[in-house]
Structure 1
Amino acid sequence: MVWVTWITRGVCAAVAATGFVCAAAQAGTAEPPAPVTVQDLHRVLTPALPGTYGDDIAVVILGYGLTPEGTLRAELIRRLRAGFVQAVFAPWSPIIVTGGNPQAGLTEADAMADWLVAAGIDPARILRDPHADSTVANARNTAALMAEHHLRAAVLVTSDDHVDRARAAFDDAGVLVVGELTPDLTPWPALPLRIDQFGPALPPA
């Protein structure tokens, strides 16, 4: 629809003003793969922007089960995309990827780390917990990693329907949580956005 195209372009201009670059279709190119909805526009106009943090605060991305072939499921990619943006906004923060449950010889943590490295994250920033098999284990293992590396607090990145349970588990494990970010509350997984101005192109979803 014509009005959707013009609204999309207007939203893209607004988003670009904040530092993001919109990959909405230009004249003579293909339309975006999915129509922009009112909910998508609301996410852009009222986004939950990542915070900026120092080198003593970890960005913790929680795992999600791999396929039997050892590949990333769509929900885990959404978490990784949100985590990547948070990592760009907090370039001094270490990144903890937590998740075991190996499939085809690959753990969630290792698959997540591979994705982040492919997206341009320095491997030296990534701390791996390849043993956790539950949210409680995510929290306990992350607490141990944080203590080992003298990290005082964490920003949790997980799915919207999981964040409350994750927060409770991390609280119980003694981890100070200073922020949360979910793909559902951010615009970039929902609209055809690129973040070229903040870092390299993301791997394909």
Structure 2
Amino acid sequence: MFHTLFPRPRFRRGTMRALLGAATAATALLHAPGAMADGGTGSAAASPPPPHLASAQPALGFRGPDTAIVVLGYGLLPDGAMRPELLARLHAGFAQALLAPASPVIVTGGNPRNGVTEARAMADWLIARGIPADRVIVEPDAASTVQNAEHSARIMRDIGARDAVVVTSADHIDRAVGDFAGAGVDVVATVTPDQVPALVVPFGPPA
């Protein structure tokens, strides 16, 4: 049962400067030549980005503190390690977090394995890669998408967030948006791993 009230995230001036700098870098990467996504040197002969990346990029963007970034969990391995599917979701959430440095980040998922919940594993991954711990809100009890939505909605009310960017897999996004709408959450954007340019991935390499 979820009882904890969460304070609205606050950021120190130095932290905000660093996050804004990271967001600027991520923005530059999002608009960089497509050839660099394959590890090239960005020559003048760079090829254009794949069409699905060009059309999907608008989902990634700047948001304010009233918009929460909600990253949905995925089943862990028996030893508590994250599966590639969850790491892919984290890359997408990380990119959005860089581009929206004022937005709180909610990681939601229970289903513990080896004493580790999905949310705890996600939070540790994000924090290890530079997202401030006081910006990441852990929701460790949800056991389904419906509960992801309900518990996240409760957290959002507690911190004063009015709407959300939902981050999950492409084949799960329609169900997730429906469940969040059912929980009373206004979903203003969605982000999937398919929408993240490859140039952003080095900012959050798998462990």
Both structures adopt the same fold (TM-score exceeding 0.5):
yes
Encode CA deviations 1:82-106: one digit per residue, 9 max, x unaligned: 0000011100000000000000000
The answer to whether 1:18 aligns with 2:20 is no
Q: Which runs of 5+ in 2 are unaligned?
A: 1-27, 42-47
Encode CA deviations 1:160-187: one digit per residue, 9 max, x unaligned: 1100000010001001111101112333
The answer to whether 1:146 aligns with 2:156 is yes
State the AA in 2 paired with 1:204.
P
C-alpha separation in 2, matches of 1:16 and 1:81: 14
C-alpha separation in 2, matches of 1:140 and 1:167: 12
C-alpha separation in 2, matches of 1:69 and 1:179: 33
Report if aligned partners of 1:118, 1:203 keep a CA contact under 8 Å in 2: no
Report if aligned partners of 2:92, 2:195 keep a CA contact under 8 Å in 1: no
State the AA in 2 paired with 1:68.
P
The alignment yields a C-alpha RMSD, in angstroms, of 2.4
The answer to whether 1:203 aligns with 2:205 is yes
Report if aligned partners of 2:29, 2:200 keep a CA contact under 8 Å in 1: no
TM-superposed deviation, 1:18: 1.5
State the AA in 1 paired with 2:52.
R
Aligned to 2:52: 43
Aligned to 1:66: 76
When residues 179 and 25 of structure 1 are mapped into structure 2, their CA distance, relative to the original with a 3 A threshold, is closer
Report if aligned partners of 2:79, 2:114 keep a CA contact under 8 Å in 1: yes
TM-superposed deviation, 1:51: 1.9
TM-superposed deviation, 1:134: 0.0
C-alpha separation in 1, matches of 2:122 and 2:177: 20
C-alpha separation in 2, matches of 1:186 and 1:155: 14
**Could you say which structure has the larger radius of gyration?**
1
TM-superposed deviation, 1:16: 5.0
C-alpha separation in 2, matches of 1:25 and 1:94: 31
Taking structure 2 as the reference length, the TM-score comes to: 0.76
When residues 86 and 168 of structure 1 are mapped into structure 2, their CA distance, relative to the original with a 3 A threshold, is same
SS at match of 2:71: strand
When residues 44 and 173 of structure 1 are mapped into structure 2, their CA distance, relative to the original with a 3 A threshold, is closer
SS at match of 1:180: strand
The answer to whether 1:125 aligns with 2:135 is yes
Q: Percent identity?
A: 48
SS at match of 1:164: helix
When residues 24 and 65 of structure 1 are mapped into structure 2, their CA distance, relative to the original with a 3 A threshold, is same
State the AA in 2 paired with 1:24.
D
When residues 66 and 181 of structure 1 are mapped into structure 2, their CA distance, relative to the original with a 3 A threshold, is same
Matches within 5 A, 1:1-205: 18=31, 22=36, 24-25=38-39, 41-49=50-58, 50-188=60-198, 193-194=199-200, 201-204=203-206
TM-superposed deviation, 1:118: 1.2
Aligned to 1:3: none
C-alpha separation in 2, matches of 1:177 and 1:187: 22
Report if aligned partners of 2:53, 2:195 keep a CA contact under 8 Å in 1: no
C-alpha separation in 2, matches of 1:24 and 1:195: 11
Q: Which runs of 5+ in 1 are unaligned?
A: 1-14, 28-37
Encode CA deviations 1:41-68: one digit per residue, 9 max, x unaligned: 2234434240211001100000000000
